[in-house]
């Protein structure tokens, strides 16, 4: 009887130790997972045109190429800033309707009803200034 009791105690303690170890591991993993989200934090599909020679994703901060992933059927919106002339010019296939060249301010919006990877640049600055909209 006495032996049986102490055996039980040892098993119970071993179980507690394992449990503590598991909790510690889980906590560490949670902290590590928090590092993933860098960037602008704005809505998906919002892109700044300028102020220099650049497209900048308002969502994740990527530039030249500014890369945004949006759901099928949603809209990408480009907003002009700065004093240089720029445009949003679809290149390659699949394509979308390009904007005109404009300077300083204003917006251009395109709705993407079909999935695909849409590449664009600026008609003024060409391959110096690029972006990609991934529709999925």
User: Cβ-closest residue to Cu ion?
Assistant: 122
User: CB of 102: closest distance to Cu ion in angstroms?
Assistant: 10
> Which residue lies nearer to Cu ion by CB, 39 or 126?
126
Task: Quote the distance between the C-alpha of residue 41 and its chain's center.
Answer: 9
> Which residue lies nearer to Cu ion by CB, 59 or 125?
125
Question: CA 109, 111, 117, 120: dihedral to nearest 10 degrees?
Answer: -20
> Which residue lies nearer to Cu ion by CB, 59 or 86?
86
User: CB of 124: closest distance to Cu ion in angstroms?
Assistant: 4
| 126 bridge partner residues | 122
Q: Are 136 and 71 in contact (CB under 8 A)?
A: yes
Helix or strand run (H / E) with residue 22: helix 2-33
User: CB of 26: closest distance to Cu ion in angstroms?
Assistant: 48
Binding site for Cu ion (CB under 5 A): 86, 122, 124-125, 129
């Amino acid at each position: 009887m006495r032996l049986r009791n102490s055996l039980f105690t040892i098993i119970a303690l071993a179980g507690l130790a394992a449990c503590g170890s598991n909790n510690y591991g889980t906590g560490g993993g949670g902290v590590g997972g928090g590092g993933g989200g860098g960037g602008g934090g704005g809505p998906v599909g919002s892109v700044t045109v300028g102020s220099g020679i650049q497209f900048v994703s308002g969502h994740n901060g990527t530039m030249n190429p500014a890369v945004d992933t949006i759901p099928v059927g949603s809209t990408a919106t480009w907003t002009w800033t700065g004093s240089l002339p720029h445009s949003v010019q679809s290149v390659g296939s699949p394509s979308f309707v390009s904007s005109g060249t404009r300077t300083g301010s204003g917006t251009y919006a395109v709705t993407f009803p079909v999935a695909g990877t849409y590449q664009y640049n600026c008609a003024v600055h060409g391959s110096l200034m690029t972006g990609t909209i991934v529709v999925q």
